[in-house]
Amino acid sequence: MIIDCTGRKYDILNREIAALEGDIELQNCCGQRFIAAGASNKNLSIKGTPGNALGAYLNGANILVHGNAQDATGDTMNDGSIIIDGSCGDAVGYAMRGGKIFVRGDVGYRAGIHMKSYEDKVPVLVIGGKCGSFLGEYQAGGLIVALGLGYDDSDVLDSFCATGMHGGKIFIRTNELNAKITPQICVKTADESDLALIAPYIKEFCTCFGIDEAEVYNKDFQVLWPNSSNPYHQLYVQN
């Protein structure tokens, strides 16, 4: 099913999408918000630039964007996948609790903020380019992988990475982490067991975007994780 988004208000467009199942192609998308919010049983291909909250509360649908996406992509998504063959705005993967988001290019501020895991639900966010400030802020679970492809090591991260992090792991593709990390966060060079955790997602990411896996593994990865289950406990609780 092909839908021309030209001139369509987001609410009308989203009602039409919600009524369909299977494969849907959106053409001439230009800023319409909440596309595929809460969707399952759909495969969406989007040509253009979807607006804020693409795939919010996604529950099993698969979305492929042939271009860039705006803020809050995958907000609180539960399952499914969002593949962006371009860059993405702020707060991608906000509070996501399952599924996968792959971004070929860069992301803005607060990517992966409040990500969390529950039982067998492990959200994954893979970023091909560089990241804005507050990557993984308050992360409570899941995996974030920042590859920095095409960038120098010093440019992959901005400020305040992993601030308030208390669960999950962040992997940064760099031989040396050139960023200030709070002492509540542990950092080490990833070993074979660490890399085995992210290898399937890197393979899938490379397949999606036609990237040579050897290019990804030509540097080390640094892995970040909290040094306790609640490293910020003393900031908020009095004994």
Q: What pLDDT, on a 0 to 100 scale, did the predictor assign at position 234?
A: 55
More confident residue, 177 or 83: 83
CA distance 35 to 31: 10
Q: How many domains does one find in the chain?
A: 1
Q: What pLDDT, on a 0 to 100 scale, did the predictor assign at position 237?
A: 47
Please report, for the domain that includes residue 210, its CATH number: 2.160.20.60
CA distance 83 to 66: 9
Q: Which domain holds residue 174?
A: 2-236
Could you read off the pLDDT of 134-178 as tens digits, one per residue?
999 999 999 999 999 999 999 999 999 999 999 999 999 999 888
Could you read off the pLDDT of 30-69 as tens digits, one per residue?
999 999 999 999 999 999 999 999 999 999 999 999 999 9
